[in-house]
């Protein structure tokens, strides 16, 4: 298998891939608002002569290469940005105040377009079909679920799926993943504590939701430390608190929000039940009431198929060197790639982008997050190698 030729071709297209990434980075769009991003994807596919369907899950695009028949594999990239104001010093920094590609989805989209270019050059050699999934709304909008539910894994049926995520802990030129659960199940949490407001000089006439909220936050910490098996993993984090407007007024309510994480859906639901019970009882003990909600979409854990990860290790080892392919522990971040792997065997892989000399050290979701762009052609090559190798394996099975 000419893996090195694929990588060499990807590197020859490096400026093209990087230019796309920088265009996307300058104009970030939040979930389900990826109008310009989707248009750039479609324009690029038109230039490459690749057919596609658009308007899936609002702004999603699905491109198709190959025979149009089985076997079929899918490659996925997410497109949305985050509501974070960029603080980097790059010349192509975000031109939209309060929005930033702080999770690398601009890189993911550019790398998949790079793979589209590589695969288009080899289309006559593909013994089956490759679907390229350009997905909206990974950041909380469950765009992967909507894409799946709207049939992107059908006609022809996708038999294997692959995804990449830029990964600051790993140096450029390396990748990492694991068999089984790689990323956590993740859900949103919203709590409202209802009390009785009044003048802060007369607290005895009030029922203070601020004090009660403080007690709730403190007690929530005991769920992980005292209710969860120390050999298990979970997260209960309150990340925002809103209550009151004036220094001398006790408010009627306090609102809190946060996240719950676990490595299985069963454990996630157990944590939700424990949060609900504990919060209700702490509020009642302080003469308050509590409303507990779990809004949005609970993401299932991202679970890698062992055989698929084994295949990735084989071709990535030849592509990058065996020492560049790492087994990594599971992390408590969530990913809606999980909605695809609930239905199709697949693998989600961390792509190293760390480069201390270039200042690429901050983690994702940080206003100073930067990417070593030398990693982008590597990502495109990995996508293309997965498609070529997996189609051959499936066609020979």
The pLDDT tens digits along the chain (397 residues) read 579 999 999 999 999 999 999 999 999 999 999 999 999 999 999 999 999 999 999 999 999 999 999 999 999 999 999 999 999 999 999 999 999 999 999 999 999 999 999 999 999 999 999 999 999 999 999 999 999 999 999 999 999 999 999 999 999 999 999 999 999 999 999 999 999 999 999 999 999 999 999 999 999 999 999 999 999 999 999 999 999 999 999 999 999 999 999 999 999 999 999 999 999 999 999 999 999 999 988 999 999 999 999 999 999 999 999 999 999 999 999 999 999 999 999 999 999 999 999 999 999 999 999 999 999 999 999 999 999 999 999 998 7
Residue 1, pLDDT score: 55
Residue 2, pLDDT score: 78
Question: Which of 345, 304, 351 lies closest to 325, judged by CA?
Answer: 351
Characterize 198-214 residue by residue with b for buried, 16 or more Cβ atoms within 10 angstroms of its Cβ, and e for exposed.
Answer: bebeeeeebbbbbbbbe
CA atoms lying within 13 Å on the CB side of residue 311? 24
E strand spans, the chain: 51-56, 60-66, 72-78, 129-135, 160-171, 175-177, 180-183, 185-194, 198-199, 234-242, 249-250, 253-262, 289-293, 302-304, 325-327, 346-354
How many CB atoms are closer than 10 A to CB 114? 28
Is residue 71 helix, strand or coil? coil
CA gap 50, 90 in Å, rounded: 32
CA gap 100, 184 in Å, rounded: 24
How many CB atoms are closer than 10 A to CB 107? 28
Most distant CA pair in the chain: distance in Å?
A: 80
Are 350 and 175 in contact by the 8 Å Cβ rule? The answer is yes
Residue 256, pLDDT score: 98
Give me the residue label for tokens 């930067």.
370
Whole-prediction pTM value?
0.96
Are 186 and 298 in contact by the 8 Å Cβ rule? The answer is yes
CA gap 75, 318 in Å, rounded: 20
Are 110 and 14 in contact by the 8 Å Cβ rule? The answer is no
Are 339 and 145 in contact by the 8 Å Cβ rule? The answer is yes
CA 275-276-282 angle, 5° bins? 85
How many CB atoms are closer than 10 A to CB 306? 13
What percent helix, strand, coil does the chain show, rounded to 5? 40, 25, 35
Handedness of CA 162, 165, 170, 172 (dihedral sign): positive
Are β-strands 289-293 and 72-78 bridged in parallel, bridged antiparallel, or unpaired?
A: unpaired
Phi, psi of 253 (to 5 degrees): -140, 160
The token duo for 289 is 């009431």
CB within 8 Å of 337: residues ≥ 6 apart? 76, 138, 144, 163, 183, 302, 346, 348
CA atoms lying within 13 Å on the CB side of residue 140? 13
């Amino acid at each position: 298998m000419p893996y090195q030729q694929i990588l060499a071709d990807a590197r020859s297209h490096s400026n093209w891939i990087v230019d796309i990434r920088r265009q996307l980075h300058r104009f970030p769009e939040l979930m389900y608002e990826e109008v310009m991003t989707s248009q750039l994807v479609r324009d690029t596919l038109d230039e490459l002569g690749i057919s596609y369907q658009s308007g899936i899950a609002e702004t999603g695009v699905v491109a198709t290469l190959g025979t149009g028949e089985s076997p079929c594999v899918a490659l996925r990239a997410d497109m949305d940005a985050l509501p974070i104001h960029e603080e980097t010093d790059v010349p192509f920094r975000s031109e939209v105040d309060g929005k930033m590609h702080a999770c690398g989805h601009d890189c993911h989209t550019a790398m998949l377009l790079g793979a589209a270019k590589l695969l288009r050059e080899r289309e006559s050699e593909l013994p089956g079909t490759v679907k390229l999934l350009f997905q909206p709304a990974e950041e909380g909008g469950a765009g992967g679920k909507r894409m799946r539910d709207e049939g992107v894994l059908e006609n022809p049926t996708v038999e294997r799926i692959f995804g990449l995520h830029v990964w600051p802990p790993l140096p450029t030129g390396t990748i990492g993943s694991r068999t089984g659960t790689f990323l956590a199940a993740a859900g949103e949490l919203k709590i409202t504590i209802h009390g009785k407001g009044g003048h802060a000089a007369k607290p005895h006439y009030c029922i203070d939701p601020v004090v009660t909220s403080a007690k709730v936050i403190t007690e929530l910490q005991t769920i992980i430390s005292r209710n969860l098996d120390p050999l298990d993993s979970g997260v209960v984090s309150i990340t925002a608190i809103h209550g009151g407007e004036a220094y001398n007024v006790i408010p009627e309510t306090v609102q809190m929000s946060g996240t719950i994480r676990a490595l299985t859906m069963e454990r996630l639901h157990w944590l939700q039940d424990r949060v609900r019970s504990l919060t209700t009882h702490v509020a009642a003990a302080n003469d308050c009431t509590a409303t507990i909600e779990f809004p949005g979409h609970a993401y299932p854990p991202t679970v890698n198929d062992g055989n698929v990860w084994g295949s990735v290790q084989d071709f990535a080892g030849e592509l990058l060197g065996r020492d560049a392919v790492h087994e990594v522990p599971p992390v408590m971040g969530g990913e809606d790639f999980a909605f695809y792997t609930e239905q199709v065997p697949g693998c989600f892989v961390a792509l190293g982008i760390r480069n201390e000399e270039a200042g690429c050290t901050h983690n994702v979701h940080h206003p100073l997050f930067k990417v070593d762009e030398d990693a982008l052609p590597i990502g495109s090559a990995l996508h293309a190698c997965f498609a070529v190798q997996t189609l051959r394996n499936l066609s020979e099975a």
